[in-house]
Structure 1
Amino acid sequence: MIAETVCSAVSAAGLGIAVVTAYRKRFLAAARIAAYSLVPVGLVMTGIVGWLADTAFSPTAWAGFGVLGAAWLLFAGTRAVERRRTGAGSGRKAARQSGPDTMAPGASAPSLGQAPRPAARPAAPRSGAPAEDFSDIEAILKKHGI
């Protein structure tokens, strides 16, 4: 009974805030607030709030949650033991530990996570006049179709 009253009060307050928001000409936000504020009344009308209140104060329900928790712990524990028995020779852990020795012979450097090394550029000849090497600029222009 008190849960239904609280939900109704929350919905009424939310609708009041939605009216004030609409008065300030923020209609999209007002509609969103109204939608959120109608959810508690909808839950009360469907009976979910009453069911939740009965469940929260039921010792049988809490015992059921305890049994579900114990089942989950058993399931998680057996999975952990099973993983430990299979050993470290399988799965992602083995792939991380093995390193580059197990790579395919034709694998490229980027697939291994290593940065490619830039090609060494020959040193420009230093003479009295500056060398007019526009190959970089030509490559950029060709790349952009100019």
Structure 2
Amino acid sequence: MLTSTVCAALSAAGLGIALLTAYRKRFLAAIRIAAWSLIPIGLVMTGIVDWVQDLVLKPSVWAGFGVLALSALLFLIGRAAGRRTGGGRTERRAAQAASRGGAVEPAGSAPTLGPARAPDRPGTRRRGATGGDAEDFSDIEAILKKHGI
């Protein structure tokens, strides 16, 4: 009852401000103010205010939110613990391999040898072999000498 009265008063005040704004020839602003001021009375008329009032003022609703928050927290803890211990993936992989009757392949079984290099072809020259790098270093040496380094 009190919330309905407060919402009606807010709407009436907003419409009064909208009228004053329209009187000052600021029609676009008056339309926006009128639109915002009609929201509280519209919420009362649809019953949303009563629903929100019941939602906010009932302790059982807050207890329900607490239970939902606890549930979400437990999900997050379980997920973080699963990532830390590596649980989930390795257990599933072992179960799949056991069902197939094969052994589990370790995750890092093959050593990495670095990027593969193409074999030298007889007709091609590599840049390092021709002295292209030497030209680059000569430019750098010239710059350093110029600055006295």
Please classify the TM superposition score into its range, dividing by the shorter chain length: 0.5 to 0.7
- Report deviation, 1:45: 0.4
1:85-139 Cα offsets, whole Å, 9 max, x none, are 34xxxxxxxxxxxxxxx99x9xxxxxxxxxxxxxx9xxxxxxxxxxxxxxxxxxx
* TM-score normalised to structure 2 length: 0.55
Q: How does 1:16-31 map to 2 (within 5 A)?
A: 16-31=16-31
Q: How does 1:1-146 map to 2 (within 5 A)?
A: 1-86=1-86
Percent identity over paired residues: 61
- Report deviation, 1:81: 2.3
Cα RMSD, aligned residues only: 2.8
What is the one-letter code of the residue matched to 1:61?
V
Please give the secondary structure, in 2, of the residue aligned with 1:25: coil
1:29-85 Cα offsets, whole Å, 9 max, x none, are 110111111111111001010111122221211111111111121122223223333
Q: Specify the alignment match of 2:120 in structure 1.
A: none
What is the one-letter code of the residue matched to 1:3?
T
Give the aligned length. 94
Which protein shows a greater Rg? 2
- Report deviation, 1:12: 0.9
Stretches of structure 1 lacking an aligned partner (at least 5 in a row): 87-101, 106-119, 121-146
Stretches of structure 2 lacking an aligned partner (at least 5 in a row): 87-113, 118-139, 141-149
Please give the secondary structure, in 1, of the residue aligned with 2:74: helix
* TM-score normalised to structure 1 length: 0.56
Taking a change above 3 Å as real, the CA distance of residues 71 and 21 of structure 1, as seen in their structure-2 partners, is: same
